[in-house]
Amino acid sequence: VNLLNRIASDMYYVNSDSIEPYASQAYKLASDINYPEGIAEAFNNLGIYYRSKGIYNEAIDYFFNSLQIMENLNDVNGIARSYNLIGILHYFLENYDLSLDYYLKALEINKAQNDKQWIAGNSNNVGMIYELRGEYNKALDYYVLSLQMNTELGLVNWAANNLGNIGSLYLKINDPLSLEFFQKRLHLKEGIGDEEGISRSNFLI
């Protein structure tokens, strides 16, 4: 079950059409052996599959079904993951207030667990919502927190993306600090040989 769910999850970056058969196999097997954690993760993967297809009503049902299982199990990390996925879906639907609510719920759990990788991810998500709402100071605070976590974890590509977000925010308010952050982004992208990232950084500069 765990292997099937892992393959389904990784297929998002390879071929999203392949998520469904692996996730469905994981769900069937997890149901046969009464493995609720496996069922919940299969639901998450199926939700991601339907989200990738733009079938949002199906996706939201799967995410909430997963959340219910995680709540019954009192699995706080699983609950945070479900909140994150629901937040992402509402972002796609442009329900930004609801998206923010779920991201903040997830982030609260991430902080309590001192889960730096997810603190970084959800802080960046929260920053994006505040930026869309024009609350630039709040957005900057969360982008900086995300950058701090990714830097501590050595996640260079994500740190570079944080620098780009901060630079773009400064650009919106006509602050010349934007150039400094775009140059830092370029430096990191060059360091990891990300040609697309290098191109994008040069364009921003």
Q: Give pLDDT, residue 59.
A: 97
Count of CB atoms situated within 10 Å of the CB of 52:
15
Count of CB atoms situated within 10 Å of the CB of 193:
8
**Distance (Å, rounded) from C-alpha 144 to C-alpha 138?**
10
* Helix H or strand E segment including 69: helix 56-73
Residue-wise pLDDT tens digits, 65-89: 999 999 999 999 999 999 999 999 9
Q: Give pLDDT, residue 92.
A: 93
Coil, helix or strand at residue 173: coil
In the chain, DSSP finds a helix count (H) and a strand count (E) of 11, 0
Q: Token pair of 154, please?
A: 């050595």
Q: Give pLDDT, residue 117.
A: 94
Q: Give pLDDT, residue 127.
A: 97
Q: Which residues of the chain have pLDDT under 50?
A: none
Q: Give pLDDT, residue 29.
A: 98
| 28 Cβ neighbours under 8 A, 6+ residues apart | none
Q: Give pLDDT, residue 115.
A: 95
Q: Give pLDDT, residue 13.
A: 86
**Distance (Å, rounded) from C-alpha 146 to C-alpha 128?**
11
**Distance (Å, rounded) from C-alpha 57 to C-alpha 153?**
36
**Distance (Å, rounded) from C-alpha 83 to C-alpha 27?**
20
- pTM, two decimal places: 0.90
